[in-house]
């Protein structure tokens, strides 16, 4: 993806789809967009701290959800640029239209930087698995990563001093998963990473322009027919309401249905889309509830406004395998807003704004 902004006179939206890929093909130096697994960190310094990546509701470490590689053409400081999204895995944190269990960070680098070659990466190099295995537990810069989640790992095992973690919680997870057996005082730790059941399944995200040529029907005609079909029948309850209440209720239901039907119609063209990218464009809402005003989006730390960049679609949930009989991770759409200037914060990761919008009550 390399859209500087979305031209509203043409569609300008890039759709993202998941594809299976080998993990060693999705490492940092390959500059891919991806879902799940461990983060393929861009800048190899200034990573978000463990406290910054904790869920604001339960305080537990977040899991890496998705990253979008999105350089900005003609902006030298953003020759390489990636946005990273994290989420809590505690299903109890997922309440209606509550965004506190999500985090998003932006990282960007100029073409000439401390970590990567000036020349484009060679895809064939990814096949050399052994040369990149060390990136799983330690970046080329020397920064050590958590064995469980792949985020910054400032803590280490007090016995072997070779296993690093982001938190005591993840150290306990690793200990129970098998580190207890492989840990030794001589500092030798097994080379194979244990299966902690914490990471999401890993996929590559590939993109293609959205094609609206298939949407040949008239929007107005479709919306009018759908609204007629969705009109509630008369009942004793409705008859007992006064005229003002009925009018207000009808207006809300009509608007809610209109927004949701637009979402369904637009996504039906490519139902497998997991991402919609259109920097400086407009998101596709699933409801007329929790749609932010411009003043609801906090400005960047540099003072610039934050504008829409991409949204994560509900279809992604099917690939994450997070359904459960009781409760599950869920969303209608996740909408990410980033600094309009894509300001330069050096090698640091910059927190951006993410909003979770759930389906309206009529469409749950």
CB 336 within 8 A of CB 354: yes
| Residue 153: C-alpha distances to residues 45, 47, 156 (Å) | 12, 10, 7
In the block, residue with structure tokens 């997870």: 173
Cα 232 from Cα 67, distance rounded (Å): 42
More confident residue, 162 or 308: 308
pLDDT at 133: 52
Distance CA 12, CA 179 (A): 49
Q: Please state, in angstroms and rounded to a whole number, the distance separating the CA atoms of residues 62 and 146.
A: 12
Q: Is the pLDDT of residue 50 over 90?
A: yes
Selection from 51, 65, 74, 305 nearest residue 199 by Cα: 65
**What span, in angstroms and rounded, lies between the C-alpha atoms of 217 and 162?**
62
Give phi and psi for 195, each to the nearest 5.
-90, 105
Quote the pLDDT of residue 122.
Answer: 77
58 φ, ψ (degrees, to nearest 5): -110, -15
Residue 333 confidence (pLDDT): 98
Of the pLDDT bands very low, low, confident and very high (cuts 50, 70, 90), residue 130 is: very low
Q: What is the pLDDT of residue 235?
A: 46
**Residue 43 predicted with pLDDT over 50:** yes
Rounded distance between C-alpha atoms, residue 41 and residue 343, angstroms = 19
pLDDT for 108 beyond 80: yes
> Which has more pLDDT, 181 or 295?
295
The mean pLDDT value for 334-363 works out to: 93
**pLDDT greater than 70 at residue 251:** no
pLDDT at 233: 46
Q: What is the mean pLDDT of the chain?
A: 85
For the chain, the three-class secondary structure string (H helix, E strand, C coil) is CCCCCCCCCCCCCEEEEEECCCHHHHCHHHCCEEECCCCCCCCCCCCCCCCCCECCCCCCECEEEEEEECCCCCCHHHCEEEEEEEECCCHHHCCCCCCCCEEEEEEEECCCCCCCCCCCCCHHHHHCHHHCHHHHCECCCCCEECCCCCCECCEECCCCCCCEECCHHHHHHHHHHHHHHHCCCCCCCCCCCCCCCCCCCCEEEEEEECCCCCCCCCHHHHHHHHHHHHCCCCCHHHHHCCHHHHHHHHHHHHHHHHHHHHHHHHHHCCCCCCEEECCCCCCCCCCCCCCCCHHHCCCCCCCCCEEEEEEECCCHHHHHCCCCCCCCCCCCEEEEEEECCCCCCCCCCEECEEEEECCCHHHC
Between 14 and 244, residue with greater pLDDT? 14
Task: Read off the pLDDT band of 224 (50, 70, 90).
Answer: very low
Q: What is the pLDDT of residue 37?
A: 95
Give whichever of 37-41, 124-128, 228-232 has the largest mean pLDDT: 37-41
What pLDDT was estimated at residue 216? 47
**Token duo for residue 116:** 């990567």
Model confidence at 289: pLDDT above 90:
yes
Give the confidence band of 322 by pLDDT, cuts at 50, 70, 90. Answer: confident
Which pLDDT does position 267 carry in this prediction? 96
Q: What percent of the chain has pLDDT over 70?
A: 78
pLDDT at 239: 52
Residue-wise pLDDT tens digits, 196-206: 999 999 999 99
Order of strands, edge to edge, in the sheet holding 80-87? Answer: 350-351, 102-109, 80-87, 63-69, 33-35, 203-209, 14-19, 275-277, 306-312, 333-339, 353-357
pLDDT at 240 over 80: no
- Partners of 164 in the β-ladder: 156
Instruction: Read off the pLDDT of each residue in 345-359 and give the average, rounded to a whole number.
Output: 95
pLDDT at position 256 is 80
What is the arithmetic mean of pLDDT over 89-112? Answer: 96
Percent over 90 (pLDDT), the chain: 67
């Amino acid at each position: 993806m390399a859209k500087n902004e979305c031209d509203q006179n043409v569609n300008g939206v890039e759709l993202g789809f998941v594809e299976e890929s080998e993990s060693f093909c999705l490492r940092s130096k390959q500059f891919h967009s991806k879902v799940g697994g461990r983060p393929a960190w861009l800048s190899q310094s200034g990573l978000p701290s463990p406290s910054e990546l904790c869920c604001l509701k339960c305080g537990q470490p977040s899991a890496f959800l998705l990253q979008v590689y999105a350089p900005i053409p003609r902006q030298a400081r953003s020759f390489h640029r990636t946005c990273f999204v994290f989420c809590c895995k505690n299903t109890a944190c997922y309440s209606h239209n509550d965004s506190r269990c999500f985090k998003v960070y932006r990282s960007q680098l100029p073409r000439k930087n401390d970590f990567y070659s000036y020349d484009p990466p060679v895809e064939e190099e990814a096949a050399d698995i052994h040369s990149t295995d060390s990136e799983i537990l330690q970046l080329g810069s020397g920064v050590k990563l958590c064995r469980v989640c792949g985020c910054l790992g400032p803590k280490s095992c007090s016995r072997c001093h070779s296993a690093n973690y982001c938190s005591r919680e993840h150290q306990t997870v690793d200990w129970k998963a098998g580190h207890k057996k492989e840990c030794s005082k001589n500092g030798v730790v097994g080379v194979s990473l244990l299966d902690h059941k914490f990471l999401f399944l890993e996929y590559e995200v590939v993109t293609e322009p959205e094609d609206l040529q298939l949407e040949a029907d008239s929007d107005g005609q479709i919306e009018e027919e759908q609204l007629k079909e969705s009109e509630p029948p008369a009942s004793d309850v409705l008859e007992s309401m006064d005229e003002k209440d009925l009018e207000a209720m009808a207006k809300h239901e009509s608007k809610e249905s209109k927004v949701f039907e637009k979402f369904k119609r637009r996504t039906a063209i490519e139902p497998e889309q997991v991402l919609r990218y259109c920097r400086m464009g407009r998101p596709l809402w699933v409801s007329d509830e929790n749609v932010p005003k411009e003043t609801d989006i906090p400005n960047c730390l540099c003072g610039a406004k934050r504008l829409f960049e991409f949204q994560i679609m509900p279809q992604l949930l099917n690939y994450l395998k997070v359904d459960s009989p009781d409760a599950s991770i869920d969303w209608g759409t996740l909408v990410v807003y980033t600094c309009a200037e894509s300001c330069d914060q050096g090698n640091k990761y910059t927190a951006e704004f993410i909003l979770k919008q759930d389906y309206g009550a009529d469409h749950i």
